[in-house]
């Protein structure tokens, strides 16, 4: 039975990755300090003999007894609301935490996979975004603590790969949604769904013409898993996301329709600085190298996510 460590494994994405790895026959160890993750996300796995959850801050020290075949470094606050409220934690987990995770992978002879982000492209001047694009990032802006931390984590990963000859892989996550997102996440999916289900006005910022592409979580996890099975010469970075692009206004209208909400759509001034105007992945590499592309439609994914949030709101 191969053994995997997931840092940040009690988070939205990490918990779904835990499900997939267990289904694939892995033993899974999750480290999480619960800054943004929640034990609720993996509560259904407690009692599984192949699963272990440990409260752990990977920026302090990183050790795991026994063999480790694969490390998925998923730990990091990732929502725009976290950038001004958790800047130091974000920088530390992507800097010190990445270094410690790489050190453990080297000591164990384990494959290392870094969860990077489309935010490394900043407010892109190239559209759609290809992996070769270096980005347009404001290093001293509010978003810079996340954007630059992930860029540094990528550089650190490649440094360990080149100097120590390690098997490392980088995947860049584009907008992803699904059950287990935080309702107060601050990102567009929980914002719009929460407003629609409560009957509050659905808030669209600016003209609503800024675009995003939304990938359902099971598709994203499938891409990550496929990358983890590739030979050592595959290093990435590889974009994993859904290339179907929609404006924020179109997205608000779709959620209003699917929730049968009486909410009105209202417009407010843009509040975030350096917010990308366009975001869409080029997934040619994922298609060619991983044989991967998203399968879940936006409507199907939103229906599952709406039901999850409807249940959360009912719980109070």
Each domain of the chain, given as residue ranges in start order, spans: 3-176+215-240, 179-212+244-279+296-315
3-class secondary structure per residue, 63-103: CCCCCCCEEEECCCCCCCCHHHHCHHHHHHHHHHHHHHHHH
From first to last of its 316 residues, the chain has per-residue pLDDT tens of 999 999 999 999 999 999 999 999 999 999 999 999 999 999 999 999 999 999 999 999 899 999 999 999 999 999 888 999 999 999 999 999 999 999 999 999 999 999 999 999 999 999 999 999 999 999 999 999 999 999 999 999 999 999 999 999 999 999 999 999 988 887 889 999 999 999 999 999 888 888 888 999 999 999 999 999 999 999 999 999 999 999 999 999 999 999 999 999 999 887 666 677 788 999 999 999 999 999 999 999 999 999 999 998 888 7
pLDDT at 183: 82
Instruction: Name the residues annotated as catalytic.
Output: 146
Cis peptide before 100 (omega within 30 of 0): no
**DSSP label at residue 229:** T
Fold topology of 179-212+244-279+296-315:
UDP-galactose 4-epimerase; domain 1 (3.90.25)
Q: pTM of the prediction?
A: 0.95
CB atoms < 10 A from the CB of 313, how many? 13
Give the architecture-level CATH label for domain 3-176+215-240. Answer: 3-Layer(aba) Sandwich (3.40)
What length is written for the chain?
316
Cα–Cα distance measured from residue 195 to residue 199, given in angstroms and rounded to the nearest whole number:
6
Q: How far apart are CA 119 and CA 136, in angstroms?
A: 10
Give the C-alpha separation, 204 to 128, whole Å. Answer: 23
Q: Comparing C-alpha atoms, which of 205, 201, 208 is closest to residue 265?
A: 201
Residue identified by tokens 């567009």 is: 188
Q: What are phi and psi of 126, to 5 degrees?
A: -120, 130
Confidence at residue 273, expressed as pLDDT on a 0 to 100 scale: 63
Residue 45 DSSP class: G
Two tokens, residue 220: 């994203």
| Distance between CA atoms of residues 79 and 119, nearest Å | 11
pLDDT at residue 80, rounded to an integer: 87
| pLDDT value of position 210 | 86
**Residue 25 to residues 3, 18, 45, 143, 307, Cα–Cα distance (Å):** 9, 11, 14, 38, 29
Burial 245-278 (b: 16+ CB within 10 A, else e): bbbbbebbbbbbebbebebebeeeeeebeeebeb
pLDDT at 208: 86
Residues 115/171, Cβ–Cβ less than 8 Å: yes
| 7 Cβ neighbours under 8 A, 6+ residues apart | 14, 31, 32, 56, 58, 71, 72, 73, 74, 75, 97, 101
Can you tell me which residue has the tokens 């779904």? 16
Beta strands in the chain (DSSP E): 3-7, 27-32, 51-55, 70-73, 111-117, 168-173, 176-177, 202-205, 211-213, 215-216, 238-240, 245-247, 265-268
User: Quick check: 51 and 45 in contact, CB under 8 A?
Assistant: yes
């Amino acid at each position: 039975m191969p053994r995997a460590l997931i840092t940040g494994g009690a988070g939205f994405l990490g918990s779904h990755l835990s499900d997939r790895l267990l289904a694939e026959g892995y033993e899974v160890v999750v480290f999480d300090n619960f800054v943004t993750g929640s034990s609720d996300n993996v509560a259904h796995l407690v009692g599984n003999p192949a699963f272990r959850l440990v409260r752990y801050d990977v920026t302090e020290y990183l050790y795991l007894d026994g063999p480790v075949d694969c490390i998925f470094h998923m730990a990091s606050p990732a929502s725009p609301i976290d950038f001004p409220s958790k800047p130091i934690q974000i920088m530390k987990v992507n800097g010190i935490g990445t270094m410690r995770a790489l050190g453990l992978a080297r000591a164990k002879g384990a494959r290392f996979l870094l969860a990077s982000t489309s935010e490394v492209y900043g407010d892109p001047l190239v559209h759609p975004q290809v992996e070769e694009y270096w980005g347009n990032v404001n290093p001293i802006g509010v978003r810079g603590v996340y954007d630059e931390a992930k860029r540094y984590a990528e550089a650190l990963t490649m440094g360990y790969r080149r100097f120590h000859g390690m098997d490392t892989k980088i995947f860049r996550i584009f907008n992803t949604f699904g059950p287990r997102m935080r309702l107060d996440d601050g990102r567009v999916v929980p914002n719009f769904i929460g407003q629609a289900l409560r009957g509050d006005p659905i808030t669209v910022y600016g003209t609503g013409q800024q675009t995003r592409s939304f990938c359902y979580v099971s598709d994203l996890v499938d891409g990550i898993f496929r990358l983890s099975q590739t030979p050592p010469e595959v290093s990435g970075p590889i974009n994993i996301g859904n290339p179907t692009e929609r404006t924020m206004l179109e997205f608000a209208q779709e959620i209003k329709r699917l929730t049968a909400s009486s909410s009105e759509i209202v417009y407010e001034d843009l509040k975030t600085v350096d917010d990308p105007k366009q975001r869409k992945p080029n997934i040619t590499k994922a298609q060619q190298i991983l044989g991967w592309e998203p399968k879940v439609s936006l409507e199907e994914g939103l229906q599952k996510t709406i039901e999850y949030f409807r249940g959360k709101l009912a719980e109070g």
